[in-house]
Structure 1
């Protein structure tokens, strides 16, 4: 239980046998293909779904916020675009299963939401602390992170913190997606961490030695190392 839960908030724990299958690229099964086809239709073609195109689109939105704090978000999309941070690739099976679990609660295209998960390995086991709710964004609960700290003390490696960047279509200022006039053309799906994300990653690295951060949109992912946390920007 957590204090003052957000609407739909659910915090779950999974302890599973570790296996190479979790880390392999996720196959395009029927559900994943249906999701991909729906996105292609909304984006006007395959090219619009390419991660580089999504990053370029988001970078342009942020760069246009001249003189406003959110303009700085273009710093991180820029670093991912120039290859100085992050390793892109297809979502792996673990990422897809966690994304799928959240999508079964809230359909990602019609009702975008975010999940967050701590992923740990050790003693032949895979441990996942998964949190999600009926919102974009979420709280990093100490009730969850305290258990992560305890696991690390018991020999588990904090492999990554995972969260998704959903696609957000038909945005209107003041909606449930925290849309403003400046951000209404940001359709999401781009996998550069926000300045707030990077600050959180640095704090996790200091507290329990976080090794990496993963961002996914259910199809593609970008993995960041703990060294990348210093190449990327955070709020000063």
Structure 2
């Protein structure tokens, strides 16, 4: 028979063995695969080139970005403090509603009240987007948000509204962006940029879309830098329907370059149009 001292030693040994085995028995199998590391957040990276243009306007800048084509670029950007802050500030100015449909209804009413031929065309374009007859609405993708933030990094978008345009190309597992930034509301299409896009298309790139932003515009007065007239004082912008001037541009570029679509963003949401929509939308005559 075991005396008490031997029994206690065996019990202690059993407890030690159990403690040593517990992690292996209760934890994950030793050969289980480790969790994959989180994917890096999408980024434009540094511009690969600056395109020089003839007689640039003050603040005008044309950049080229070459980015690896990943699924993350084409889905909404993960939580970003800059976008969240911008949304909150816009919502405060608009008393809460920044939905793309409400912005379209607001601008449609302004254009209908003006009553000119061009304004009626702009109002009808808004109606077509609202009613699903042309284009679709959705959250801004990471690529669209990053380009908007690139512009916002140059000028504060609420205090100093400004616009950018960008040709979005895809090829060779890359996204190539020709980004044109302007200090003003509205910009100028440059032949130097168009020539580069055309050359890339001939080299096998798809011209997915032309993207530009419709900026929000507050505290407007007639004759200001936002081209405000007495009729547009209450137009806060940010609506995603293309203007008749936009559509005229899309049609002309489609004839020159194989433009597959057009995207209009306000930094929060985006309207996307196929090339076939250009013929349904109203264009400046």
- TM-score of the pair, normalised by structure 1: 0.97
Q: CA deviation at 1:66?
A: 2.3
Which residue of 1 is the match for residue 252 of structure 2?
A: 203
Which residue of 1 is the match for residue 110 of structure 2?
A: 61
Which residue of 1 is the match for residue 206 of structure 2?
A: 157
Is the deviation greater in 65-74 or in 189-198? 65-74
1:146 aligns with 2:195: yes
Which residue of 2 is the match for residue 42 of structure 1?
A: 93
Which residue of 1 is the match for residue 76 of structure 2?
A: 25
The match for 1:175 among 198, 202, 224 is 224
Which residue of 2 is the match for residue 104 of structure 1?
A: 153
In 1, the alpha carbon distance for the partners of 2:115 and 2:205 equals 44
- Point out 4+ residue stretches in structure 1 off by more than 2 angstroms: 66-72
In 1, the alpha carbon distance for the partners of 2:247 and 2:197 equals 19
Is the deviation greater in 73-82 or in 182-191? 73-82
Q: CA deviation at 1:41?
A: 0.6
SS in 2 for 1:182: helix
Which residue of 1 is the match for residue 56 of structure 2?
A: 5
Which residue of 2 is the match for residue 76 of structure 1?
A: 125
1:216 aligns with 2:265: yes
Which residue of 1 is the match for residue 26 of structure 2?
A: none
Q: CA deviation at 1:71?
A: 3.1
SS in 2 for 1:213: strand
Is the deviation greater in 143-152 or in 19-28? 19-28
Larger-gyration structure (1/2): 2
Cα pair 2:64 2:178 within 8 Å, conserved: yes
Q: Deviations over 1:49-94 (max 9, x none)?
A: 1111100110010101124543331111111111101111000000
In 2, the alpha carbon distance for the partners of 1:146 and 1:15 equals 17
The root-mean-square deviation of aligned C-alpha atoms, in Å, is: 1.0
Q: CA deviation at 1:38?
A: 0.5
The match for 2:163 among 114, 123, 131 is 114
In 1, the alpha carbon distance for the partners of 2:176 and 2:262 equals 16
Cα pair 2:118 2:284 within 8 Å, conserved: no
1:129 aligns with 2:171: no
Aligned length: 234
Which residue of 2 is the match for residue 92 of structure 1?
A: 141
Q: Deviations over 1:122-168 (max 9, x none)?
A: 11111000001210100010100100000000000000000000000
Give 5+ residue unaligned stretches, structure 2.
Answer: 1-51
Which residue of 1 is the match for residue 274 of structure 2?
A: 225
Q: CA deviation at 1:204?
A: 1.2
SS in 2 for 1:206: helix
- TM-score of the pair, normalised by structure 2: 0.80
